[in-house]
Amino acid sequence: MSFTLTVLGSSSALPTATTNPTAHLLKADERFFLIDCGEGTQMQLRRNHVKIQRIHHVFISHLHGDHYFGLIGLITTMQLLGRVKTLHIYSPPGLKAIIELQRRPYNHYENGDGNEIENTSSDKTSKKEDDYFPIIFHELETRKNTVIFDDNKISVETIPLKHRIPCCGFLFREKPKLRKILPEMILKHKISIEQIQKIKLGENLQKEDGTIITNEEITLPALDSESYAFCSDTRFNESIIPIIKGVDLLYHEATFLHELEHLAKKTAHSTALQAATIAMKAEVKQLIIGHFSARYKNKDVLLNEAKTVFENTVVAEEGKTYSPTNQ
Ligand SMILES: [Zn+2]
């Protein structure tokens, strides 16, 4: 198991006494990826004992406040805790200006011409701009499916969504894993480090006397690669199906029951039935629904509706961790 997903916030626009706006934390190969960052996300990270300085990549689906108002609080806390490492933030255009304005050093003010003037107060705690840890903003083109992050273990691509403003989801996919070499075989055949790398890629072992040992004799098959698709917020949009086809875990917003389909259409959101239809047509393994309207006190009605179309559906519960293998 290398993917685990912790739901930090599950409600739509209005936070309630018991729920928070959208935020998910994906732990993939010992790294943390924060996906959306609604108000209160840093408190949720604390409650779930996440070391926030281990977050280096934040993905924001769109610039409605319930998906990013927690960002400046989180960034400020990172700063106060002495962060020096770079933070990468991926979002549709517009977020850089907002965050940089909020982050502007408070020992500088602008005069009427927009020119900076020094603060003459005796506040010795004021910081210079150079003291702030670096943030790199990656502006996303939300209308086409694009790879935005890629390294030797994982890739992240956008999922174009249809909402009232530019919006995209994110698809996290592990790269194919290597075969596992049996430790006792390393000793038995005196396999060198160079040979180990080739064997993990699937090659046979050729010994010095010319004997061939097949790869299957000395390795175990590679573990399956895992995938997670995050889709929020969106109207019913079947064009995402080829992109998310067969993923292990799909999160899809389900703001309303289908009896309020007209409201879903008007606000560019989805119903539980529509989320389940996407899951069924995309043949995903498991569906998590969330982003519920505050009008639903009991989430079972949304769950039951989704299950009429896609049985393996669960409700996003804050503080709960999901993984492709603990279905
Ligand atoms: Zn929205």
Contacts of residue 309, defined as CB under 8 A and 6 or more positions apart, other chains included, come to 273, 276, 277, 279, 280
Give which of 317, 259, 312, 264 is closest to 290, Cα–Cα: 317
Domains of the chain, by residue range, sit at 3-104+128-177+223-322, 180-220
d(CA 172, CA 35): 11
222 within 8 A of 178, measured Cβ to Cβ = yes
Percent pLDDT > 70 in the chain is: 89
165 CA → ligand 1 middle, Å: 8
Tell me which residues have their CB within 5 A of the ion that is ligand 1: 64, 233
pTM for the predicted model, two decimal places: 0.84
- Show which residues are catalytic: 66
DSSP 132: S
32 within 8 A of 313, measured Cβ to Cβ = no
Tens-place pLDDT, residues 27-82: 987 889 999 999 999 999 998 898 999 999 999 999 999 999 999 999 999 998 99
252 CA → ligand 1 middle, Å: 13
Question: Does the pLDDT of residue 111 top 80, yes or no?
Answer: no
Question: Does the pLDDT of residue 139 top 70, yes or no?
Answer: yes
In order, the DSSP letters of 1-16 are --EEEEEEE-B-SS--
Tens-place pLDDT, residues 221-244: 888 889 999 998 899 999 999 999
Q: State both tokens at 66.
A: 């319930």
Q: State both tokens at 89.
A: 């933030």
66 CA → ligand 1 middle, Å: 7
Question: Which is it for strands 135-139 and 147-150: parallel, antiparallel or unpaired?
Answer: unpaired
pLDDT at 203: 86
257 CA → ligand 1 middle, Å: 17
Pick among 3.40.228.10, 3.30.379.10, 3.40.50.10490, 3.60.15.10: CATH of 3-104+128-177+223-322: 3.60.15.10
d(CA 210, CA 193): 19
233 CA → ligand 1 middle, Å: 5
235 CA → ligand 1 middle, Å: 10
d(CA 255, CA 178): 40
